[in-house]
Chain A
Amino acid sequence: NAGVTQTPKFRILKIGQSMTLQCAQDMNHNYMYWYRQDPGMGLKLIYYSVGAGITDKGEVPNGYNVSRSTTEDFPLRLELAAPSQTSVYFCASSQLGGEGEKLFFGSGTQLSVL
């Protein structure tokens, strides 16, 4: 199993550009998550999904959109990139999303908006 795969690993965007961060998992997990990691700020939840066709906002959803058309894929869309979105983005998954469940993380996408 590859686990959670994120692409691209690095990207530089100009202000106002759009892009999609890809995330795929091959563990048949129901729950998937997007986090952003800012220096000294830990991981903040952007959006999550409990299954195909169902998504919900996390702590910091503004400026982002998600979709979940299949169990495997959970792309994150930035429509009008802003410097405040410069961050490292992590996708994660878990089997059932229950209390106290282990998260499996991808290796991250480092995004710079200039």
Chain B
Amino acid sequence: GENVEQHPSTLSVQEGDSAVIKCTYSDSASNYFPWYKQELGKGPQLIIDIRSNVGEKKDQRIAVTLNKTAKHFSLHITETQPEDSAVYFCAASNPGNKLTFGGGTRVLVKP
């Protein structure tokens, strides 16, 4: 089955700096890669996703890049703000299979 590795497990950044979280996946058939944000005491929420026919996708301060050849994808957050502090999960899925999640990254934005 699919295996998703996520790094780092914790990330501390200064407000205004950029944050990058990286994930690798094992199943070359995977073609959908979402990112979920989990704030304290809440369930995860989808913030951005990318499909295998796209190399990069942006939404305001967040962007996701995908390298199918290397089987890795990354989340980039620019101009970080205190409200970006949360746990972020990457995930991967292929047709007919449910999402496989990475282990999560706890991001702390220091004011």
Asked if B9 and A40 make an inter-chain contact with CB atoms under 8 angstroms apart, the answer reads: yes
Partner of B43, one of A42, A102, A105: A105
Asked if B9 and A90 make an inter-chain contact with CB atoms under 8 angstroms apart, the answer reads: no
Asked if A40 and B51 make an inter-chain contact with CB atoms under 8 angstroms apart, the answer reads: no
Interface residues on chain A, number (Cβ under 8 Å): 21
Within 8 A of A (CB), among B4-29: 4, 6, 9
Please indicate the chain B residues that have their CB under 8 angstroms from the CB of A41 in the complex: 103
Partner of B101, one of A43, A48, A102: A43
Asked if B43 and A107 make an inter-chain contact with CB atoms under 8 angstroms apart, the answer reads: yes
Interface of A toward B, CB cutoff 8 Å: 4, 33, 40-45, 48, 58-59, 90, 92, 99-100, 102-103, 105-108
The 10 A-B pairs with the shortest beta carbon distances in the complex, nearest first, are A105-B43, A42-B101, A100-B32, A43-B101, A42-B103, A102-B46, A105-B44, A40-B103, A107-B43, A99-B95
Interface of B toward A, CB cutoff 8 Å: 1, 4, 6, 9, 31-32, 34, 36, 41-46, 49, 51, 89, 93-96, 98-99, 101-104
